[in-house]
Amino acid sequence: MSNFSIGVDLGGTNLRIAAFDEHGTLMEKITLGTKTVVGRDQVLNNMCDSIQQTSEKFRPSANLVGVGIGVPGIMDMPSGMMRESPNLPGWADYPVRAEIERRLGTPVILENDANCAALGEKWLGAGRHVRHLAMLTLGTGVGGGIVMDEKIWHGMTGMAGEFGHMTVEPDGPQCGCGNRGCLEQYSSATAVMRMAREAIAAGNAPGLTLVANSDVEFSAKEIYNLAVQGDEQAKKIFRRVGRALGISLATMINGLNLEMYVIGGGVSSAWDAFSPSIFEELRQRSMVYAATAPVDPLPDSPGASGQVEPGTGRKTIITRALLGSDAGLFGAAHLPMISN
Amino acid sequence: MSNFSIGVDLGGTNLRIAAFDEHGTLMEKITLGTKTVVGRDQVLNNMCDSIQQTSEKFRPSANLVGVGIGVPGIMDMPSGMMRESPNLPGWADYPVRAEIERRLGTPVILENDANCAALGEKWLGAGRHVRHLAMLTLGTGVGGGIVMDEKIWHGMTGMAGEFGHMTVEPDGPQCGCGNRGCLEQYSSATAVMRMAREAIAAGNAPGLTLVANSDVEFSAKEIYNLAVQGDEQAKKIFRRVGRALGISLATMINGLNLEMYVIGGGVSSAWDAFSPSIFEELRQRSMVYAATAPVDPLPDSPGASGQVEPGTGRKTIITRALLGSDAGLFGAAHLPMISN
């Protein structure tokens, strides 16, 4: 009898449930709207119903290893509670894990969604040949995760990996976390929009102004499209995205000396617009990167910072994520497989 | 028959060799001048002779577990070579480990000196009751090390823990590593001296000018003495030391979520002058610190950020090192005990 596990990605917009076999083959995937307006208890009901249905469907032919759930918030691992959950009102300081376990009658593993994404990329994505990696997820905010020797590094209370709140500019824009000049203030979709609005307000960004005033929804994606078309102000915004990432990655590389740093999340689609600035900063700012950079770096390549033998463990690779928005779902399903 | 190990601290000025039993009791300590002018081979001879003598003295009554050597430079662990050794001219890119092993006829463990200090503090110092810690060593430069679950975190090639080269101000003073505004440019003894000279040159630091022109050797220690006496410019320098440490520690705490961060090295003697600024920055800049700070923080206390139960693993402790200049020697001796 083969093994399978169930992964759940509980986002602010979508709730996705999937079953995977132990080799990472997707057996089933269900996508539901999270409908946070219907309230926490209804979302929990929907989630638990779908987990039960999926579980019952495959149980006759395979052994359920466990259930892993990725949640958008800072987890306090010992208590199984969310410390902060800006995208899920009413979920903070609520015993989420205990409540799900009570409804399902089986132990579940709750994990921060960015940590799940890092684990997913390690299992089946960009990092499948390396021993350890860190991942930055550039979305509405900037999340992060560290995987060392197949395991998520949680730190003392499960809050490790909050790389979105590394300080880039000590006197930079105020961040919701209380700090100033966090990476999230430069390299998230929200930051791209803020920088675009600032450029428009400064009155010297005709291209951005035109798009902002058009019928098209003004989004980070539209700003990227402008950059691709050669608009100088749009290009400058993505250079700032890359510069902040480069400064932060230099600190991470000097401190952690991992094999791989993976950049994912929606904003990573603009890789070719911001990645040259990452490598420019890294070469100047990280002596550890300089000592371990691939011999023939290809900083402008879309995929990676250089072609190296996988798993040699002697080169620092900076690369795009491979699994797109499924990384977190893959990682959540992998959680029970590595905890047993 | 009890066990003992030999630790060596190879500094730019002193070469210290010591034997410890497995409980950390010092059995013998030899201090020699490193005399780098006599050349690398002579230093290696002196070191190996002293190790042999110490080993022979205790071998009849105890079992030698191994030899650990702390070196002032960035180690490439797989090759056993030093990547950079500014304080030991001629040692970089030389097969140090292989040469010592050839002379002694026994395997040795070479380790970066700041990593040794972190391990020493974990074994017998400030961190003896915690599971994981990072240490910053504030000396001529700023070194660092991470100990997780009793082991030094080396990363891919042994270069992890270079926290002295985290970026504090992206456009700050040029650092020897190639980066700008590294922590080392604000919180090392060298940085304290530079900031004092800058204040004197600006013409508004009468106290510092007086000391600089006196017969006393102008040193970071003298600047600290001025700060203790209430000199505003000297106090301001140590506030900048603390601010940079606070900014860097906030990033480390958000990224790693360790139980303890230990501040050691010569400059840590000025703890009461710079530590209030650390805690001021941390409270604003690290949401993980804010969530895990001791309930009753005592930011101005000389020893720690708060009184908590040792080993509870729920509070982020920022504290001074306990072992002074012996931390590296203790840690070097501990290396063979944990690798076996």
Is residue B40 located within the same domain as residue B73? yes
How many domains, chain A? Answer: 2
The pLDDT of residue A91: 86
Q: A10 has which bridge partners?
A: A15
Average pLDDT for residues A57-78, to the nearest whole number?
A: 90
Q: Is A249 on the interface with B (CB under 8 A)?
A: no
Choose among B156, B167, B243: nearest Cβ to A285: B167
Q: Does residue B310 have a pLDDT over 50?
A: no
A86 and A154 assigned to the same domain: no
Is residue A37 predicted with pLDDT exceeding 90? no
Among A292-301, B118-127, B212-221, B306-315, the range scoring the smallest mean pLDDT is B306-315
Q: Are residues A84 and A149 in the same domain?
A: no
Same domain, B313 and B334: no
Note the pLDDT tens digit of each residue in A159-214: 999 999 999 999 999 999 999 999 999 999 999 999 999 999 999 899 999 999 99
Q: What is the mean pLDDT of chain A?
A: 91
- Tell whether B252 lies on the interface with A, counting CB pairs under 8 A: yes
A167 contacts in chain B (CB < 8 Å): 168, 247, 250-251, 285
Per-residue pLDDT, A286: 96
Does residue A279 have a pLDDT over 50?
yes
Which B positions 93-152 lie with beta carbon below 8 A of chain A? 131-132, 144, 146
Q: Do A158 and B284 touch (CB under 8 A)?
A: no
> Does pLDDT of A306 surpass 70?
no
Q: Which of residues 67-96 of A touch B (CB under 8 A)?
A: 74, 76, 78, 83-84
pLDDT of residue A77: 81
Indicate if B9 and B75 belong to the same structural domain. Answer: yes
Q: For position A70, which CATH number holds?
A: 3.30.420.40
Smallest Cβ–Cβ distance between B179 and the set A84, A258, A285 belongs to A285
Same domain, yes or no: B106 and B139: no
CB of A305 within 8 A of CB of A293?
yes
The answer, yes or no, to whether residue A148 has pLDDT greater than 70, is yes
- A295: pLDDT confidence band, cut at 50, 70 and 90? low
pLDDT at B296: 54
Q: What is the mean pLDDT of chain B?
A: 91
The interface predicted TM-score (ipTM) is: 0.91
Co-location of B335 and B313 in the same domain: no
Region B174-180 average pLDDT: 95
Out of A84, A256, A285, whose CB is closest to B155?
A256
Q: Are residues A307 and A269 in the same domain?
A: yes
pLDDT at residue A311 is higher than 60: no
Interchain proximity B257–A154, CB inside 8 Å: yes
- A243-247, B4-8, B75-79, B99-103, range with the lowest pLDDT: B75-79
pLDDT higher than threshold 80 for residue B86? no
- Segments forming the whole domain that contains residue B187: 128-322
Q: Do residue B115 and residue B179 come from a single domain?
A: no
Contact B157 A285 (CB under 8 A): no
Q: Closest partner residue to B167 among A74, A251, A290, by Cβ?
A: A251
Top-confidence residue, A251 or B107: A251
What does the pLDDT read at residue B312? 47
Same domain, B137 and B184: yes
| B106 and B245 both lie in a single domain | no
Kindly state whether residues B262 and B218 are assigned to the same domain.
Answer: yes
Share of chain A above pLDDT 70, in %: 94
Express each pLDDT in A72-126 by its tens digit.
Answer: 888 888 888 888 777 788 888 889 999 999 999 888 999 999 999 999 999 999 9
Beta carbons of A258 and B170 less than 8 Å apart = no
Residue B330 scores a pLDDT above 90: yes
